[in-house]
Amino acid sequence: MSADTPFVSVCMITYNHEKYISQAIESVLMQETSFEFELVISEDCSTDSTRDIVLEYAERYPETIKTLLHKKNVGMARNLIGCLEACTGKYIALCEGDDYWTDSLKLQRQVDILNTHPECSICFHRAIKVDEDSIELGSTWPRKKWNRKITTLLDLLEDNYISTQTVVFRNGLMNLDTVATLISGLGFGDWILHILNAEKGKIFFIDEIMAAYRVTSAGATKTASLESKINDIEDFYTRMRDYFKEEVPERIINSYKSRYLASFALSAAVEEKFDLADELLYRSREASCRFSLKPFPTRMKVFFAIKSPKLFSFIRKLRLRNSGSFKDH
């Protein structure tokens, strides 16, 4: 690494983020570090003024900001891979154009952790959820009750508890062609990215909020139908089974898929799609294995909803009124 090479690269993909991109960029530029960092912004041919805003910042901070400007829209997956390929730092941090960081020492703290914990390939922290106007929604990712300092690949295969804008990882641990293949066609890519990094080391968690995850009406997760989410999860676990082969036993992959199918069955019951709930309940049982009991309470809720839909709806409304939630996990 030459003296001119930044120690950390911040990978920022953006598309139609004119309302948010300035806040995202400013949150990176405010970082106080003992090392040099670059901000690589990959702009995917937005139809709004996002590109103009990015170019304005790049002109003001040419020593820090590097831009990738696609001539036509290439989609999230290719935009991400292109941005990662352009990152030259020893470490890579992620922050998409509609999210932002809230702590000026975030990068320094995470790099310090990775420098002193060579057994870890990833460092992440908690993020606060905000709305389109940056107003806090009162919840975090991961949830407030989640607090595990060190986790591993198997933990991450079960559930994605890493919010994209919170992660810093070692550059060069994964094959980007493999990443591109595995995320192609899925409604999410960051989870697979984290998993491939977690193959190479442990995951370190800092239990502090240092970033904001924006929940928008245009977000892919927000707008995706239940059916498309089900297809994505089943496709995801099929890809993970084929990728890991004997490294991760198929019964473990199936148990994780079973838990998700049970959760989706409950969502279907809440939406009063009882035929779909019944089908997903059956598929959850089929995918499960004897040692996994995690989906059982959720399955019982679904079974109750199918057998007594009116009572289920009444109890759910009552619990929503009293506690504001009716969630299985």
Distance CA 168, CA 164 (A): 9
* Same domain, yes or no: 98 and 194: yes
**For the domain that residue 135 is a member of, what is the CATH number?**
3.90.550.10
Query: What pLDDT does 204 receive?
Result: 98
Q: Do 117 and 192 reside in the same domain of the chain? A: yes
pLDDT in tens, 62-82: 999 999 999 999 999 999 999
Q: State how many domains the chain has.
A: 2
26 and 136 fall within a common domain: yes
Neighbours of 26 (CB within 10 A): 12
**pLDDT band, very low/low/confident/very high, at 2 (cuts 50, 70, 90):** very low
* Mean per-residue pLDDT of the chain: 90
Is the same domain home to 96 and 153?
yes
My answer on whether 207 and 236 are in the same domain is no
- Examine the domain organization and report whether 215 and 228 are in the same domain: no
Same domain, 193 and 313: no
**Tell me: the pLDDT tens digits for 22-33?**
999 999 999 999
Residue 186's domain spans which residues? 8-220
With respect to residue 1, please indicate whether it lies within any of the assigned structural domains: no
- Copy the structure tokens of residue 31: 């970082």
pLDDT at 95: 98
pLDDT in tens, 202-243: 999 999 999 999 998 765 445 579 999 999 999 999 999 999
Residue with tokens 């977000």: 219
Report the distance separating Cα 130 and Cα 141, nearest Å: 11
pLDDT at 318: 74
